[in-house]
Amino acid sequence: MRKIFMLVCSIMACAQLSHAQSFNNFPVSTQKPPLHGRHWMAITGKPLAATAGAMIFQQGGNAVDASCAMLAATCTMWDVLSWGGETQALIYNPKTKKVIAINALGVAPTGATPEFFKRKGMQYPPEWGPLAAVTPGTPGGLLTMLAEWGTMSLKDVLAPAMQMAEGYPIEAQTANSIERGKERIKEWPYSKKVFLTHLGESREAPNAGEIFVQKDLLETLRKMVEAEQQALKKGKSRKEAIYAAYDRFYKGDIAKEFVRGSKEQGGLITEQDLARWQVKIEEPLMTSYRGIDVYKLQTWTQGPAMLQTLNILENFDLKSMGYNSTRYIHTLYQAMNLAFADRDFYYGDPAFAPEEPIRGLLSKEYALERSKQINPDMNNPKAAPGDPYPYEGKENPYKGLLQSWGNAQSQLYQPGNPAADEEFYARFQAGTTTVEAADKEGWVVSITPSGGWVPACIAGNTGIGMSQRMQSFVLDEKENPFNVVAPGKRPRVTLTPSLALKDGRPFLSFAKQAGDEQDQLLLQFFLNMVEFNMTVQEATEAPSFKTQQMYTSFGEHEKIPGGLILNSAMPPWSRKELARMGYSISYQDRTSGPVNAIWFDWEHGTFWGGSSNHGEDYGIGW
């Protein structure tokens, strides 16, 4: 029998719920059914893309092949990402029993310096347009994953995406996003050509269900497949042929046209920037929480913040507090604030100096010290970065910067203007998508790709939208000495796939979209399962809460000290208690996701798939 909270998803009464019983034959009601599979599982942010993954599985591909097909399909569908964005992934290799980290994030181009942007009167690199772009990373990430751990040809894996580029019925979410962004789209000639299919009419974007054709993108994908097939004819191996496609994208005619189109519109990316860029295959970071090993990417993402928070929370008895009780919400909120303050000051590209103090940040001793800083009765609106250096046996070189950190009044957002509030919240929870895949051979893939979302600036006749990730850099070391923009450097991003192992075997593969919300909601999803024994689908739908006390990674990098978003069903007594504790509270009807996840049922040798009742996320299992 599972201990859960019987009413958590049916009435969403997210206060002090008692531990009730749930029987396998009479589970808690969820708005979406859980997925079950024996052979494979494919979950992503778009139904058509999940179908693409299923097509590859049915052709005999493994989870890496299927995840690459899903990634390609979501990129072709725009809205939350495109081919010019970035890809972050964790892969469990059943042959080595190791977790592999994929760093396919682009870098700042030649000329992208703090002085360059400051001369233009900018406090941060821009949110939109060619100057917002880092080099494209998704093509390289997809090709590397497929070449190294897939089994199929690029031609077969890209076939669903190429069919979509020939023309697919565009869904309402993307079509309406194009319409809302059409004035900005008109600034960029290649974007206008692709997106505004009814230029001059009252509605200039495609209509929902209309066949959306992308001839330029189709030609780019065709060139990549052509490079692969020509290499195969010359006797090259499958892997070598896929890397021939990689070279054509980053060093051949595709790269030349991408750079030409970018420069024509004022961008900085050069052919040398593309040719020098490489996907990095890295060691992930890991912490153990109550016997479960949780893996994240390195400090070029926000992922380690979740690991830090878990280390802090190990010092508390969360289960006894009760799911979403006032005490539980307060404790998690305070722990997350401490970890995110460290994120905002210490995280950056580890390939560049200074070296991030990650050993100290992830040490259990540091977490214990941080846990003692939590006031059990009040929110601390001035939660600041700690000092992890002594836990590495070093002296902190940035003590002076720490003393003045967080004092910029311009970055303290004041809610109250409905139009401005809507823009702030949209930045804070800016969407992307996720890809989760697993197969009976033991391969597991978790991806959080993003970048090049609508309204995107398309680079020339490539059909590829450029990334908007440059805005995640800072220009002043007072904010974060590890994340100051520099040519060749990766920005610290929000994108954060997750894998967890238990007893040396896959336990959970999970990820979510939505900007700075990602790790705080993934944390709560994980605790829903580990502490409160929810099923994976219950955990994806269960009401969560959100802190807005960390600096956003977009736009003007603002925050709301004490900002707390609760689910609308939160009972009045909890609202009053949290208000008395110093929180500035707002409400949303759905606060759980979208989270996509796969849980591994080793007792029965099957997969359970979960996908939030939140957005278009969808999965298929077999």
Average pLDDT value for residue range 466-476: 96
**pLDDT tens-digit readout, 497-534:** 999 999 999 999 999 887 888 999 999 999 999 999 99
Tens-place pLDDT, residues 529-553: 999 999 999 999 999 999 989 899 9
Q: Is the dihedral of CA 473, 259, 46, 243 positive or negative?
A: negative
Q: What is the pLDDT of residues 581-607, one digit of tens each?
A: 999 999 988 887 789 999 999 999 999
pTM assigned to the model? 0.94
Instruction: Find the helix or strand (DSSP H, E) in which 208 lies.
Output: none
How far is C-alpha 132 from the geometric centre of its chain's CA atoms?
18
Tell me, what's the pLDDT at 145? 98
Tell me the residue type at 337: N
Q: What is the mean pLDDT of the chain?
A: 92
Contact 476, 486 (CB under 8 A): no
* pLDDT for 286 beyond 60: yes
CA distance readout (Å), 350 to 272, 344, 437, 527: 22, 15, 28, 29
The yes-or-no verdict on residue 409 having pLDDT over 70 is: no
- The confidence score (pLDDT) of residue 420 equals 66
Write the pLDDT tens digit of every residue in 135-161: 999 999 999 999 999 999 999 999 999
Amino acid at the residue 409? Q
pLDDT, tens digit, for every residue of 103-115?
A: 999 999 999 999 9
pLDDT at residue 50 above 80?
yes
Tell me, what's the pLDDT at 29?
A: 81
Unique residue bearing structure tokens 């000495």: 481
* pLDDT at residue 428, as a whole number: 63
HSE at residue 619, side-chain half, CA atoms within 13 A, is 33
The phi, psi pair for 177, rounded to 5°, reads -65, -40
> Tens digit of pLDDT for each residue in 225-234?
999 999 999 9
Exposure class string for 203-240: b at 16+ Cβ within 10 A, else e? ebbbeeeeebbbebbbbbbebbbebbeebbeeeeebee
Give the HSE-up count for residue 316: Cα atoms under 13 Å, Cβ half-sphere. 28
246 pLDDT band, cuts 50/70/90, is very high
How far apart are alpha carbons 443 and 261 in whole angstroms?
A: 39
How large is the average pLDDT for residues 394-418?
82
Task: Copy the structure tokens of residue 161.
Answer: 């995406």
Any residues with CB less than 8 A from the CB of 434 and at least 6 apart, and which?
43, 44, 45, 446, 447, 448, 497, 511, 512, 513, 594, 596, 617
Closest alpha carbon to 14 in 533, 576, 566, 595:
566
Q: Looking at the predicted structure, is the pLDDT value of residue 1 above 90?
A: no
Q: Does 554 score more than 80 pLDDT?
A: yes
pLDDT in tens, 296-328: 999 999 999 999 999 999 999 999 999 999 999
407 burial (CB, 10 Å; 0-12 / 13-18 / 19+) is exposed
Q: What is the mean pLDDT of residues 611-620?
A: 86
